[in-house]
Structure 1
Amino acid sequence: MSNSSLTYLHPEITGIVSAWLDHLAHERGAADRTVRAYGSDLRTFLAFLAEHRGGAPSAAELAGLPLVDFRAWLAALQHKGLARSSINRAAAAVRGFYRFTARTQGRSNTALLTLRTPRLKRRLPRPLPVEAARRLTEAAGGADWIGHRDAALLLLLYGAGLRIGEALGLDRGALADDPATTTSLVVTGKGGRQRMVPILPMVAQALAAYAGACPFALARDDALFRGARGKRLQQGVVQARVRDLRRALGLPETATPHALRHSFATHLLGDGADLRTIQELLGHASLSTTQGYTGVDADRLRALYARAHPRA
């Protein structure tokens, strides 16, 4: 987006946009890349409205924006050839901004609630092979405390199936007083839903090694995983670390922190775990979400069927 589009911002909106982006970065803990993308999406939306309506919209005008204008904006994005995923991200940014203004400015827009965005094609998870997952988690380790931290974190993603946000949201109190004796964690997932996750001994040992090496005081109510300056570790740092590791190991670009969660579920399925158990471990609200993993291991399921079914 060009800098000229900034002139389409109404003076009273400029400060609200800045406050929202600051909220995303410091209160929601969004990665820098996400903040930049959402900011660009929102400003593009406001620039479209300025051209579409003949002037930069004020806060009151945004609150009263009719559904037809939102639809015209989506149509303009589609006309530019944006991918469905990009359009949905832009819509998510605008919705997030409106939620922020409703909470902080008392201005909401009911028309936005009925806006429908393009349906995304459902993509199957892309897990890592067992050997690749092992190499990635092992390569993360190091002699310093950051190496211990990265090893413990990636083992937690692969060994317990946590989302990266769930792992980074953990406080020290989630572990036992002696971290090496931790056998389970209470994890808060999407929608505030909590679940109990069993912890393997090797994961507990990695967590204990990190907790012992961490140079910062780890009180029960403090963040478990810390950045280099002692604050709660951010997702962008972890993603960059995994990106460097996969390049060094020659792994595909699909080797991401979230791929370790997929690998956890797929490898459990491959060893005979049932979908209901995997659903509970992953914290999926619906079994249909977990069923996506069956498509990943289709070859194994066909072989199992051929061996076990009496008519095969």
Structure 2
Amino acid sequence: MNKANLLEEWKAHLEQDRRRSPHTVRAYLSAANLLIERRDLDSWQKLAELDSGTIRLHLADRRQDGLGNSSTARELSAIKALIKFALAQTGASDANAPRIRGPRIKKGLPRPVTPDDATNIADLVEATASDDWIGARDRAVLLLLYGAGLRIAEALSLKGGDIPLETTLSVTGKGNKQRIVPILPIIQEAVTEYAGLCPWPIKQDEALFRGARGGPLSQGMVQKAMAKARVALGLPSTATPHALRHSFATHLLGAGADLRSLQELLGHASLGSTQIYTKVDAATLLDTYRDAHPREKD
């Protein structure tokens, strides 16, 4: 077996068996390619026999390439997954997998935008678009992120058969995990408006949101539109499409939503992922206190 075949099998496993997102597949393939090329590995057996010392040496080389802590941790996760697959291919036990701890990463709190900012972004994106249908499209996507807490990939995975949107929507998220999210009337109206203006035929089994040439809308185009609106509104660089999902969670928690319900709405596998929003809400309350309390202004 040659190196190209290894990568093809690895890609097929990620896409078909693990159902990883295109972004994850690209990242894991890149990490695998670097490891295979630099360590001259041309069989699953050689990959399965890699020890902790060799992997540490490889990661040290990647550090020399300029890899930071977060990127190193992601690459290590990709390598561990690859070796686990190699062990399975050779019939060996997972117990033989090298035990390596990744670098410590200081996790920052998500940076939500205010409700007014979220609305202003969606409205400005619509008003400044090159075509009416593109403005309606981008506004509908952003409202799905803020109003329903969808990940951008989840919003862009919607099909023509999903419309007209009902009061709830079944969403397939990470790990092929399904959840039901409520859909507000403003979102229903925005998606209906876009569908009516879209110049491309929206077929039941094809992407609902289309690019300018009729293909599936890319995440990059949504990010670009929001970046333009962010600059115009004087918002920080943290005001990204994903920040709208953070805002959805933070604002619900601030309004009294319980963590378990929020976990279900966000599609988090563990409650620990949702608990970070308690810290965000506390930080927001502290900022409000500092801005409003008269003694803080003395």
2:227 is matched with which residue: 234, 238, 243?
243
Q: Do residues 148 (structure 1) and 132 (structure 2) align?
A: no
Q: Do residues 280 (structure 1) and 245 (structure 2) align?
A: no
Greater mean alpha carbon deviation, residues 108-117 or residues 147-156: 108-117
SS of 1:150 mapped into structure 2: helix
**Partner deviation per Cα, 1:60-100 (whole Å, 9 max, x = no partner):** 42343234322332344456663210102222444566688
Provide the residue aligned with 1:215 in structure 2. 199
TM (normalized to structure 2)?
Answer: 0.78
Q: How many residue pairs align between the two structures?
A: 281
Gaps of at least 5 residues in structure 2 are 289-298
SS of 1:158 mapped into structure 2: helix
For 1:213, the aligned partner's letter is L
For 1:202, the aligned partner's letter is I
Instruction: Tell me, yes or no, if the aligned pair for 1:24 and 1:30 is still in contact at 8 Å.
Output: no
Q: List aligned pairs for 1:113-124, cutoff 5 A.
A: 114-124=99-109
Q: Do residues 86 (structure 1) and 71 (structure 2) align?
A: yes
Going from structure 1 to structure 2, the CA distance change for 1:162 and 1:102 (only over 3 Å counts) comes to: farther
Query: Alpha-carbon deviation of 1:120?
Result: 2.5
For 2:56, the aligned partner's letter is R
Going from structure 1 to structure 2, the CA distance change for 1:99 and 1:303 (only over 3 Å counts) comes to: closer
Quote the sequence identity (%). Answer: 47
Going from structure 1 to structure 2, the CA distance change for 1:246 and 1:30 (only over 3 Å counts) comes to: farther
**Partner deviation per Cα, 1:154-205 (whole Å, 9 max, x = no partner):** 01000110111111122222333xx4xx211011122222111111111110
Q: List aligned pairs for 1:162-177, cutoff 5 A.
A: 162-176=150-164
Query: Alpha-carbon deviation of 1:216?
Result: 2.4
Provide the residue aligned with 1:30 in structure 2. 22
Going from structure 1 to structure 2, the CA distance change for 1:145 and 1:302 (only over 3 Å counts) comes to: closer
Query: Alpha-carbon deviation of 1:148?
Result: 1.2
Query: Alpha-carbon deviation of 1:34?
Result: 8.4
For 1:221, the aligned partner's letter is D
TM (normalized to structure 1)?
Answer: 0.75
Q: CA RMSD in A?
A: 3.6
Distance 2:29 2:177 in 1: 29
